[in-house]
Amino acid sequence: MVSSPGSGKTTLLEKTLSDLKGELLIAVVEGDQATLHDAEQIRTTGCEVIQINTGTGCHLEADLLLRGFDQLRLQKSSLLFVENVGNLVCPALFDLGEWAKVVILSVTEGEDKPLKYPHMFRAAQLMLLNKVDLMPSLQFDLDHCFEAASEINPTLKILQVSATT
Amino acid sequence: MVSSPGSGKTTLLEKTLSDLKGELLIAVVEGDQATLHDAEQIRTTGCEVIQINTGTGCHLEADLLLRGFDQLRLQKSSLLFVENVGNLVCPALFDLGEWAKVVILSVTEGEDKPLKYPHMFRAAQLMLLNKVDLMPSLQFDLDHCFEAASEINPTLKILQVSATT
């Protein structure tokens, strides 16, 4: 999961984990420059989670993840979510060995973001357009957003969501 | 000016330039991975502006700025605004020779960002808390935000603003 800071990655993940609880064996790696906040929030769902703090670092790398795996009881059937450091630029360029990159864009960030940060939207397989509940309070051009995303990545799947509502 | 993508840097700058028009000689450097959108938006104010596209790069550097200066008619009394690439991580670590770093945080990003991205809030002299018009639609803890910013940077000045209202 990759996105700008504050686009709703952790809340979206928390709701997803609560919905999937009991159906799948799930583990989570949380990446942040500092604090254990996100791991604490995810732990309330009952899922296994570890927090990796990158310090001045702007993204997770595969070897950091590998060290985190030692602390998780992963099984072959486990589903692993990795929440990267909030950064719409650098995490696009690093292969973590993930099955897919999911980019979260919140409507409060504006519809032009796929054009301005093309590497991230090109690297992603799925885009979650989050905070759609706030659209009535914003001047957000949904068509323009879809066109921008499709121009950068014609095969990108898009879902509209609201993690809080 | 530094912030996450979509926190309102360009709109805030556009309003500021319109308000200061005629009072000061102002020039602007816009940084983005791609597109000329921000320069085009700023040009509507009548100010001189150049756009630097960083490609895969995640921040502006001093030598990039210097090359841009050749295209601006800067005078000793000029006020120069530099809008960095939207990224709350990397631009904190690079000295552009600026008089001050202004960090913009929008309330939609959440009140914990100073704690999670401490390097940026430590590097800044002024924080503009933007999009305060949206606060009634959010669960944003203003006191918590001020405490977090002050914990990271006790001398950080904070102003509440709304670029669109």
Closest CA to A104 of A89, A121, A82: A121
The model's pTM = 0.96
Closest-CA distance, A48 to chain B, in angstroms, reads 21
Establish, for the pair of chains A and B, how many residue pairs have beta carbons separated by less than 8 Å: 108
Closest CA to B135 of B165, B164, B108, B103: B108
For residue A5, give the nearest of B4, B37, B139 by CB distance.
B4
How many CA within 13 A on the CB side of residue A61? Answer: 5
Q: Which residues of A94-115 are buried (b: 16+ CB within 10 A; e: fewer)?
A: bebebeebbbbbbbbbbbbbbb
Q: Which residues from A are below 8 Å from B113, CB to CB?
A: 5-6
A17 and A28 Cβ atoms separated by less than 8 Å: yes
Q: What are the backbone dihedrals phi and psi of residue A133, each rounded to the nearest 5 degrees, phi first?
A: -65, -20
**pLDDT digit string (tens) for A75-114?**
999 999 999 999 999 999 999 999 999 999 999 999 999 9
Q: Which residues from B are below 8 Å from A117, CB to CB?
A: 5, 33-34, 86
**pLDDT digit string (tens) for B26-64?**
999 999 999 999 999 999 999 999 999 999 999 999 999
Residue B59 neighbours by CB under 8 Å, 6+ apart? B31, B84, B85, B87, B90, B91, B93, B94
Candidates B2, B59, B87: best to mutate against A (most CBs of A within 10 A) is B87
A165: its two tokens: 């509502």
Chain B contact present for A89, CB below 8 A: yes
Amino acid at A52: I
**pLDDT digit string (tens) for B85-117?**
999 999 999 999 999 999 999 999 999 999 999
B23: its two tokens: 């009072």
Report the share of chain A in percent with pLDDT over 90.
93
Closest-CA distance, B82 to chain A, in angstroms, reads 17
Distance linking the first and last C-alpha atoms of chain B: 20
- Chain B (123-162) residues lying within 8 Å, Cβ to Cβ, of chain A: 131, 134, 137, 139
B38 and B83 Cβ atoms separated by less than 8 Å: yes
Chain B contact present for A34, CB below 8 A: yes
pLDDT exceeds cutoff 90 at B22: no
Q: Which residues from B are below 8 Å from A37, CB to CB?
A: 112, 115-116
Q: Which residue in chain B is spatially nearest to A134 when comparing CA positions?
A: B137
pLDDT exceeds cutoff 90 at A69: no
**pLDDT digit string (tens) for B114-156?**
999 999 999 999 999 999 999 999 999 999 999 999 999 999 9
How many CA within 13 A on the CB side of residue B49? Answer: 23
